[in-house]
Amino acid sequence: MTGTADVGVDKDSDESGSAVPSAPGGGSEGRPEPEPAPEVSLVKDPTIKAPAPANGSEPPARLPGPPAPRPEHHDQLDDAPHLDVDEPLLAARAHRPSDLIRFLAGVCGIVAVFVLAGIATSTTTGIEQDIATNAPHFSAVLSTITGLLSSVAVLAVPLAFAVERLIKRDGLRVADGVLASVLAYGVSLGIDWWVAEGASEHIRTALTRLPLDSNGSLTDPVHGYLAPVIAYMTAVGMSSRPRWRVALWVVVIFSGITELLGGYTTPLSLLLTVLIGWSVAYGTLYAIGSPNIRPTGQHLMIGLRKVGFTPAGAHRAPDAPGGTRRYYVTQQDGPPLDVHIIDREQQASGFFYRAWRRLRLRSVAVRRSPQSLRQALEQEALIAYAAAASGARAPQLVATSELGPDAAILVYENVEGRTLDELADEEITDRVMASLWRSVGALHERRIAHRRLTGESLLVLDDETACLVNLSGGDIAATDLTLRIDVAQLLTTFALRIGPERAVATANAVLGADRVAQALPLLQPVGMSRSTRVDLARLTKERKTAARARALEQVAAGERTQQQAEEDIAAAGEDLLSRIRGQILQIAPEAPMEPAKLERLKPKSLIMVIALTFAAYLALTTIKPAQLKLSQMNWAWAAAALLAAAFSYVAAAMSLTGFVPERLPFRRTVAAQLAGSFVKLVAPAAIGGIALNTRYLQKAGIRSGQAVASVGASQLAGLAGHLLLLFSFGLITGSQTNGDLSASRAVIIGVLTAAVLALVVAAVAPLRRFVLGRLRSLFFGVVPRMLDLMQTPSKLVTGFGGILLLTLSFTACLDFSVQAFGGNVSYSAVAVVFLTANAAGSAIPTPGGIGPVEVALIGALTVADVSPTIATPAVFLYRALTFWLPVLPGWIAYNVLQRKNAL
């Protein structure tokens, strides 16, 4: 939308963006004296046409409504040059990522203070004793005067600053500061209450003390007035006011020292107070947003006039990659310009993503991020000048300048064209691609890497020529690996649009087979840009979906056999990068095949570390020796329970191999089931087991579709066996107790619950479509696999026998655990308890069913007339043997199988 606004920026206000920028290379020497800056208005004068965007696209449509009113003093400006700016109005407030980063850093600091207070007891106590010993050496009168003055000043300075801001008509910042101070006071009261009532004695001792002149009451852990003052001064933006900032920090420090010497606080309490005020301020600013001080098109026009240009109008263009704002500017007596604005907000955006990429990937695979606005300006200017000197087609950089303290501009010549993303597939000709490859080759000859060769960075000028844009993230003196990443990225960008055959052929014609072959090890998703990774995943998913739908239709029509359809689906599932590799190998069979090591830290390694940490934490917090009652345990029954738990992995391996027609090494399959016990730590039991078994079958040489079908058949058979065993044991239990046992009612409740869920799914259309779609795709592969298995009855016996033995093993483990603590209940009753309670607890998707499974098993055993004093330790023993004890062996099996490329 457009609006009306006259430029009237207060030079003393933080919102000022009209600081005079200097021209590059030492100012404006050699240029004519610039004319006085004209008034800038966002009014769309009907007599002046808006500049057409360079790419031929229409300017943003304005919202319908009456025309904007003319300012009252508009008649006075009729003789002045009129500058037209067409852009959407910037939001009044901006949620800065930098505020969120500071808030999180402050929270981490607060947590560190509490940890330090809890573990470094001797250190904190020693510091307090040293201060108390040396405090009497200071004059009491001087200490009293200093304390009085600092107490007055710590409130007077913020008040004076507020008055000054109100005089400057900047009351919005004052309101933000007041809100932050109120919230900081509330947080301080909450922490004071928690330390007094709920914290440990070590934390209370480190954060409070007993003053010498007190009546027995401890000091506050957080200063009730100092934290709000710090929050206020941070929220109002005193960081841009050096004198005010220094004055307030001086009085805050004096106030803290006075409180410390007077025995009214502790060093950790002062540190906690500062962190709370700081964190609350930035948390408030991020939540409500900071006043937006990003320069607008008005400031841009004034800045261009200051450095000697004669802008007549500007049109906001689509942003460049990385959030850089762009404007197409027309001049009164010069060629049109393409102006980029970079600011601190754009620099802070995407911080967490960039941090993760830097942590995960080697430095050569990550674009460098400038640390300051000046560095960002210099880096982009250097790349632009180097690209022009190399002979590559790229827009010419004609000027750079700072636009106030928080922004800078780079002025390029305007090059008209359309980006590759805006072209239809048939418009991407071989000549256009060859032109881009020649420009990339020219850059690489001078060791310049572009690092962002996606569709939005490739500008097509006509049917034969194109140029490179968005060079801001490039590298000078790039390494061979970085240059090869460029080639791999551009190959993938073209292949996504016109296929791998033409993409590789064009690159080979321009660069040669050797340079194209060197990019083969870099054809990895992790080395591509984020947009390319998204496009690759979307393309693979679309191909698989289309192939599956086509295969279903062909099988139903009798045009293809089931095996042929599965082969078609597997061929369609081949990702685009594999197809590009195949094309490269056709022109260079000797090309290196080993993927380059781009990752420093793989996600699975990080997940493993998190899983082990999570397991250790849960083990320390949930397993309590007092609940196991080891002194009352019968070790013979516990040993029997351990053997039953160990045999469950053999049974699980049987249940998997029985539904796979191909031959699997049995020992390795048992090891895979043991590795599943480690995976359960970070995923719900059923989901983690399915994913691991599918991966294991794929690594064993079974095609993806058939692996999923085999695991699905095993799961369906397991579900059917579970229900059949539950019904059978329910009947046995009921006949043994004349139908009075509560477990029999549990069977009825379970059946009724399943019936209600089925009715709900059938009644709700979205759920019905979702379930039917899943079942259709599942049975598409499961039924043929079951037909194949029927030709080998021994496989079916192994599969169903494994399912039966798996349930009986877990039931025996639970039964022996109950017997270990003196419980006396029939095996059939324990089987009913296990089948019902384990299923109910596992329905809640916690890792490994931690929590719900224990509660459900203890409750079910209690209903089955097992005393809670026996049921509780029995269940903890059962979970220790079946869940916690196998974690370490499972981790070992997981690593061994990975080294053998079996997972």
- 3-state secondary structure labels for all residues of 308-357: CCCEEEEEEECCCCCCCEEEEEEECCCCCEEEEEEEHHHHHCCHHHHHHH
The span from the CA of 765 to the CA of 566, in Å, is: 30
pLDDT band at 206 (very low <50, low <70, confident <90, very high): confident
Contacts of 277 (CB under 8 A, 6+ apart): 184, 226, 227, 228, 229, 230, 231, 234
At 342-372, the pLDDT tens digits run 887 766 666 667 777 777 787 766 766 666 7
Tell me the average pLDDT across 875-890.
Answer: 85
At 151-182, the pLDDT tens digits run 666 677 777 777 777 776 667 778 888 888 88
Please name the residue that has the structure tokens 């109002």: 236
pLDDT band at 337 (very low <50, low <70, confident <90, very high): very high
Q: Return the pLDDT at 748.
A: 54
Q: Are the C-beta atoms of residues 598 and 362 closer than 8 Å to each other?
A: yes
Q: Name which residue leads in pLDDT, 792 or 16.
A: 792
Contacts of 135 (CB under 8 A, 6+ apart): 261, 262, 263
Q: Return the pLDDT at 74.
A: 36
Lowest mean pLDDT among 51-65, 470-484, 687-701, 842-856: 51-65
Q: Return the pLDDT at 694.
A: 82
DSSP string, 654-698: HHHHTT-SS---HHHHHHHHHHHHHHTTTS-HHHHHHHHHHHHHH
Lowest mean pLDDT among 137-141, 774-778, 806-810: 137-141
Give which of 30, 32, 41, 34 is closest to 83, Cα–Cα. Answer: 41
Q: Return the pLDDT at 348.
A: 64
Distance of CA 159 to the CA centre of its chain: 41
Tell me the average pLDDT across 524-543.
Answer: 88
Q: Are the C-beta atoms of residues 401 and 307 closer than 8 Å to each other?
A: yes
pLDDT band at 751 (very low <50, low <70, confident <90, very high): low
475 DSSP 8-state letter = E
The span from the CA of 94 to the CA of 88, in Å, is: 15
CA dihedral 816, 822, 826, 828 (to 10 degrees): -40
pLDDT band at 211 (very low <50, low <70, confident <90, very high): low
Question: Highest-confidence range of 28-42, 61-75, 216-230, by mean pLDDT?
Answer: 216-230
Q: Are the C-beta atoms of residues 523 and 492 closer than 8 Å to each other?
A: yes
Q: Name which residue leads in pLDDT, 145 or 253.
A: 253
Tell me the average pLDDT across 836-865.
Answer: 71
The span from the CA of 138 to the CA of 260, in Å, is: 12
Q: Return the pLDDT at 22.
A: 37
Q: Return the pLDDT at 774.
A: 57
786 DSSP 8-state letter = H
Query: What single-letter amino acid sits at 455?
Result: G
At 572-619, the pLDDT tens digits run 767 899 899 999 999 988 888 788 888 877 776 666 666 566 656 555
Instruction: Give the angle subtended at the CA of 41 by the CAs of 38 and 42, to the nearest 5°.
Output: 150
Question: Highest-confidence range of 192-206, 239-253, 490-504, by mean pLDDT?
Answer: 490-504
Q: Find the distance separating the first CA and the last CA of the chain, reported in whole Å.
A: 55
At 728-749, the pLDDT tens digits run 776 666 555 444 444 455 555 5
Give which of 584, 402, 439, 566 is closest to 508, Cα–Cα. Answer: 584
Tell me the average pLDDT across 133-141.
Answer: 53
Share the mean pLDDT of the chain: 75
Q: Return the pLDDT at 235.
A: 84
Q: Which residues of 110-126 are buried (b: 16+ CB within 10 A; e: fewer)?
A: beebbebbeeebeebee
Q: Are the C-beta atoms of residues 3 and 68 closer than 8 Å to each other?
A: yes
Could you give the percent of the chain with pLDDT greater than 90? 16
The span from the CA of 194 to the CA of 180, in Å, is: 21
Please name the residue that has the structure tokens 């980006």: 419
Q: Where are the beta strands (DSSP E) in 660-819?
A: none
Tell me the average pLDDT across 752-781.
Answer: 62
Give which of 405, 417, 416, 408 is closest to 339, Cα–Cα. Answer: 408
Q: Return the pLDDT at 542.
A: 85
Could you give the percent of the chain with pLDDT greater than 70? 68
Q: Return the pLDDT at 864.
A: 77
Name the token pair of 784.
């043929």
Q: Return the pLDDT at 871.
A: 83
Instruction: Give the angle subtended at the CA of 212 by the CAs of 207 and 214, to the nearest 5°.
Output: 85
Whether 3 shows a pLDDT value over 80: the answer reads: no
pTM of the model: 0.61
Q: Return the pLDDT at 571.
A: 72
Name the token pair of 775.
């079942």
Q: Return the pLDDT at 459.
A: 93
Whether 502 shows a pLDDT value over 90: the answer reads: yes
The span from the CA of 394 to the CA of 320, in Å, is: 15
The span from the CA of 678 to the CA of 683, in Å, is: 10
The span from the CA of 206 to the CA of 129, in Å, is: 11
At 456-491, the pLDDT tens digits run 999 999 888 999 998 888 888 889 999 999 999 999
At 381-435, the pLDDT tens digits run 999 999 999 999 999 999 998 887 778 899 999 998 999 999 998 899 999 999 9
pLDDT band at 773 (very low <50, low <70, confident <90, very high): low
Whether 21 shows a pLDDT value over 90: the answer reads: no
Question: Highest-confidence range of 387-401, 757-771, 889-903, by mean pLDDT?
Answer: 387-401
At 235-292, the pLDDT tens digits run 887 666 667 767 777 777 777 777 766 666 777 888 888 899 889 999 998 888 877 7
Q: Where are the alpha helices (DSSP H) in 333-479?
A: 344-348, 351-360, 373-390, 430-445
The span from the CA of 27 to the CA of 520, in Å, is: 48
Question: Highest-confidence range of 13-22, 56-65, 310-319, by mean pLDDT?
Answer: 310-319
At 679-721, the pLDDT tens digits run 776 665 556 677 788 888 888 877 776 777 778 777 777 777 7
The span from the CA of 325 to the CA of 33, in Å, is: 28
Q: Return the pLDDT at 267.
A: 79
